Chain A
Amino acid sequence: MDPHWLSATLSAARPRVVAALFRYFRDLDEAEDCFQEASLRALRAWGERGVPDDGISWLIKVGRNIGLDRYRKQSRYVASEETEPVASDPETEYVAQLDAQDYRDDMLRLLFTCCHPTLPKPQQVALALKVIAGLRVEEIAKAFLVRVKTMEQRITRAKRALGQARISHDPPSSAERDERLKAVSTAIYLLFNEGYSAAAGEAHIRVSICEEAIRLARLLLRLFPTEAEIMGLLSLCLIQHSRHRARLDASGDIVLLEHQDRGHWDRGLIAEGSVLLEKALRKRQPGPFQIQAAIASVHAQARTAEQTDWAEIVRLYALLERVHPSPVVVLNRAVAVAKVDGPAAALSLLEPLEAKLSGYFHYHGVRGALLADLGRREEALAAFRLALTHGGTAAETTHIRQKIEELGANPVIPPPA
């Protein structure tokens, strides 16, 4: 059999098999190692005879036996009945007995473990890529632009922290299931954003992070095909990702949304994202992902930046603010309000945000642009200069420097005295 197909079959099986092995062994390393070993055996056996009818059950059974064998060898001299793991009969057809709900719970437990809220965000995304997507540590390190050793430590630390977090292996209650779904969805979106908000020059490497995030969102939606918010999550990722070819110019720098060549947007991704959004909205269970997807969809529908339906975007941000109050959402609404009602109306929305967003690049950038539009030159310049002291990607800071130049001032910030 073609080795490419074998490896695709194995990576597709991976989340499901690792999830089941995690259920048996309650240990991520053990589950990963046994999957690895079972995959090697599969490569030999399937390469000759082809993939069996239920390759996933085959892998689970073999992986489980590998784990049990190891356990027996290690504990030959200390074995007692209490320490003997789960089932004593390795041939038990456990897999066949799993119904769809167990299967979902298995998978959700694994996903939730990797995205456990007690882990720092960078550890969550690294672990999800390693354990679920099966990326090699070198690949993850490259995607995040850190040294392999650093990434190894990050993953080891995450696993150690999980050992202490005590994740329940009982079937979750429906409230727990909802909570887990939410945590996992959030982590997947976080991962997507890691790829999406890459700085200049790195963006091409990071497309792969977006694609892995989309793959995980697809996996989650296949598991929970009736969840409106997961449809929203996938829709949002697809529509944002549809712009990935238009987001880079010839020199690899990021192009802002309003300046992108919309002919390069991937209409196939937009179509799929829009269908998913429509399907989600029919369920009348609005949530933050669906609303953000709706906003992305309004942008996607506009043939030119000028044709954007800003009034609709204002409405959607107001709705988002209600279900998910956040100063950044207000800031985004202000940008849309400026397009509809003018800069003065937008500026008055910003005033109450000062305390919360004074350390945020975009706050000062938006404020500066509004002040410039109102002809308040000195205040605008001060705001732009403040923005430059608070980060931003290369494209964003270039944009701000242009604004400063347009006001007839020197875009190079004087060094602090």
Chain B
Amino acid sequence: MLYSVLIYDTESVIDALSEEEHKARLDRHLHFQDDPRDQQELGAVVKLMPTTTAVTLRGGPIEDTVLDGPFAETKEQLLGFYLIECPSLEAAVQQVKKLPLETGAVEIRPVAYFEGGNFKNGSPLVISDP
């Protein structure tokens, strides 16, 4: 089964972390990625920009509107997600326990349909900060 691993936390708290703590957090993410990567069970690694960069389109009776900010104002925000292949929910839960979980929440949601897409900047499919 392909699972999405949706990472939620409070942006302002993440923002208050020191550089060392950010690094420690990143190390745990890299550790999380190791096994799925080796076993070729890593579908996607996605880190989102802060919610302040988002706009939300809403349908309305007269015309669609483009609103600033994320879809919902919540205490915790979606910060990023993974797609990983796991043999069972239990295995997914065990795998996700490698992620930093001191605050926030990680939602594991099975994927109903997935298509890798058709992406002109293909191989290797990586967009990152230097």
Contacts and interface: CB of A to CB of B under 8 A. Distances in A.
Given A225-B68, A279-B68, A218 B16 contact: no
A282 to B, nearest CB: 8
Interface in A242-300: 263, 266-269, 271-272, 275-276, 279, 282
Contact of B102 (A5, A218, A234, A279): A5
A267 B68 contact: no
Interface in B29-59: 49-53, 55
Contacts of B66: 282
A166 interface: no
A272 B50 contact: yes
Interface in B1-42: 10-18, 21
A336 B120 CA distance: 36
A222 B12 contact: yes
A9 B68 contact: no
A383 B52 CA distance: 46
A147 interface: no
Interface string B60-79: 00000011110001010000
A9 B103 contact: yes
Contact of A221 (B18, B49, B52, B128): B52
Contacts of A5: 13, 102-103
Nearest to B17: A8
B16 A12 contact: yes
Chain A interface size band reads: 20 to 34
Contacts of B13: 5, 8-9, 12
A47 B21 CA distance: 18
A12 B15 CA distance: 8
Contacts of B67: 226
Contacts of B68: 225-226, 279
A51 B10 CA distance: 13
Contact of B55 (A4, A11, A272, A279): A279
A219 interface: yes
B16 A8 contact: yes
B130 A225 contact: no
B90 interface: no
A266 B67 CA distance: 28
Of B16, B55, B67, B130, chain A has the most CB atoms within 10 Å of the CB of: B16
A44 to B, nearest CB: 18
A279 B55 CA distance: 8
Contacts of A176: none
Contact of B52 (A8, A100, A234): A234
A116 B103 CA distance: 35
B129 interface: yes
- Interface size class, chain B: 20 to 34
Contacts of B50: 218, 272
A136 interface: no
Given A8-B17, A12-B12, A225-B68, A2 B102 contact: yes
A205 B67 CA distance: 39
A221 B11 CA distance: 12
Contacts of B17: 4, 8
Given A9-B103, A225-B68, A268-B129, A276 B16 contact: no
B12 A268 contact: no
A1 interface: yes
A275 B53 contact: yes
A276 B12 contact: no
A70 interface: no
A215 interface: yes
Nearest to A2: B102
A253 to B, nearest CB: 23
B129 A276 contact: no
Given A8-B16, A12-B10, A219-B12, A272 B130 contact: no
A215 B67 CA distance: 23
Contacts of B53: 272, 275-276, 279
Contact of A222 (B16, B18, B52, B75): B52
Interface in A1-30: 1-2, 4-5, 8-9, 11-12
Contacts of A12: 10, 12-13, 15-16
Given A5-B103, A215-B16, 13 more contacts: A5-B13, A8-B16, A8-B18, A9-B10, A12-B16, A54-B75, A215-B15, A225-B68, A266-B129, A272-B49, A275-B49, A276-B52, A276-B53
25 contacts: A2-B102, A4-B21, A5-B103, A8-B14, A8-B16, A8-B17, A9-B10, A9-B16, A9-B103, A11-B16, A51-B103, A100-B73, A221-B52, A222-B11, A225-B68, A226-B67, A231-B52, A234-B52, A266-B130, A267-B129, A268-B128, A269-B129, A275-B53, A276-B53, A279-B53
Interface of B: 10-18, 21, 49-53, 55, 66-69, 73, 75, 102-103, 128-130
